Amino acid sequence: MVEEITKEFTHGLPKAELHVHIEGTLEPELKLKLAKRNHVNIGQSTIEEVKETLKFNNLASFLDVYYEAMNVLQTEQDFYDLAMDYLHRAAKNNVRHVEIFFDPQAHTSRGVAFADVINGLYRATVDARALNVDARLIMCFLRDFSRDSARETLEEALKYKDKILGVGLDSDEHNNPPMKFYNQFCKATEEGFHITAHADPDQPRSIEHIRDLLEVIGVERVDHGTNIVEDPDLVDYAVKNEIGLTSCTLSNNFLNADMKGKEVIELLGKGVKISIHSDDPAYFGGYIGDNYYTIATKFDLTRDQVIKLVKNSFESSWISDEQKALYLKEVDEYVAKH
């Protein structure tokens, strides 16, 4: 019998969200509200006009639209509202634990204080406890900014060490290899931060970047990273070292006209800790439940494969073994009931 995976099933599954950019959760409604509140002329005044701006077909053209939209984020309260808006959606998707990316340089470079960014976001993570969502923050370096800028950003972050769980790397990968930030990743590790980094799908030198991330820098997870299938030796390394890969169905679909579904199935079958996430849900058409539902239905995943993916999300999260065991038990209980 073919098991039908329903939206109700994927949305209700307890899950860990490990790859969501808070700036990528800025919905058109909130964008317009903040533009008005802060008197920022964004050139759009209706939801339809904002949606018209969502035109891109590769990483660079997406990033242009994405950074432009951030101009509406000005005050600590704006960052709080942005994160709270997202966390309500996360709760509806039964996200039990989330490690949220944020890009301080996208804001400090516009004159917004680092303190306003981190304090607004952090306050929302505290209030999310009332929604039954355990939320943490991962600070990303923008890889198209200089090494110096990354160094200054990490120095600033040290003042807020208790509010930041890890350090990541995002933005335009072309000509910005991970080794550009080798020193800052070493320093972040010494300071006790977890580390992860993007290896976007099908970039020039994808495999070289993934190899440096795993074998030299020593990241614990790779964001996207599905090009690893091209190198069986690196796949073995990822399995042995329990490296988490965070694949994002809907953003893959948008930017690469394929969802990396075959790669996800292959890596899952080989025992890689791969899981499904939402990346920039306000831009790519869906939150985490939709990302699971889409890959499950388009690639005929079995229930067991979907369950394995969500279990991987908890297993590759940065929480204690005791907490992992509790969440995994919740997954088993949910599955037994559905």
Residues of the shown chain interacting with Zn ion in the complex, contacts defined by CB under 5 A = 279
Least distance in angstroms from the C-beta of 171 to ligand HPA = 5
The rounded distance, in Å, linking the Cα atoms of 134 and 81 is 17
CB of 304 to Zn ion, least distance (A): 27
CB of 294 to Zn ion, least distance (A): 17
Give 24 or 225: the residue with its C-beta nearer to ligand HPA: 24
Give the DSSP per-residue string, 175-243: T--GGGGHHHHHHHHHTT-EEEEEE-TT-TTHHHHHHIIIIII--SEEEE-GGGGG-HHHHHHHHHTT-
Residue nearest to Zn ion (CB): 279
Q: Quick one: 24 or 104, whose CB is closer to ligand HPA?
A: 24
Q: Are 279 and 19 in contact (CB under 8 A)?
A: yes
Cβ distance to ligand HPA smaller for residue 13 or 50 = 50
In whole angstroms, the minimum distance from the beta carbon of 173 to ligand HPA comes to: 7
**Alpha carbon separation from 276 to 59, 87, 147, 248 (Å, rounded):** 19, 18, 30, 6
Contacts with ligand HPA, residue ranges (CB under 6 A)? 21, 24, 59, 170-171, 198, 200, 251, 279-280
Give the residue with the Cβ less far from ligand HPA, 84 or 197.
197
Among Zn ion, ligand HPA, none, what does residue 84 contact (CB within 5–8 Å per kind)?
A: none
Nearer to Zn ion, 116 or 279 (CB): 279
Q: Which is nearer to ligand HPA, 5 or 121 (CB)?
A: 121
- CA torsion 27-31-37-40 (nearest 10°) is 170
How many whole angstroms separate alpha carbon 102 and alpha carbon 211? 25
Cβ of 192: how many Cβ atoms within 10 Å?
9
Exposure b/e, 25-44, CB count within 10 A at least 16 = b: bbbbebbbebbeeeeeebeb
CB of 243 to ligand HPA, least distance (A): 18
> Of ligand HPA, Zn ion, none, which one does residue 251 interact with (CB within 5 to 8 Å by kind)?
ligand HPA
Report the partner that residue 200 touches, choosing among ligand HPA, Zn ion, none (CB closer than 5 to 8 A by kind). ligand HPA
Residue nearest to ligand HPA (CB): 170
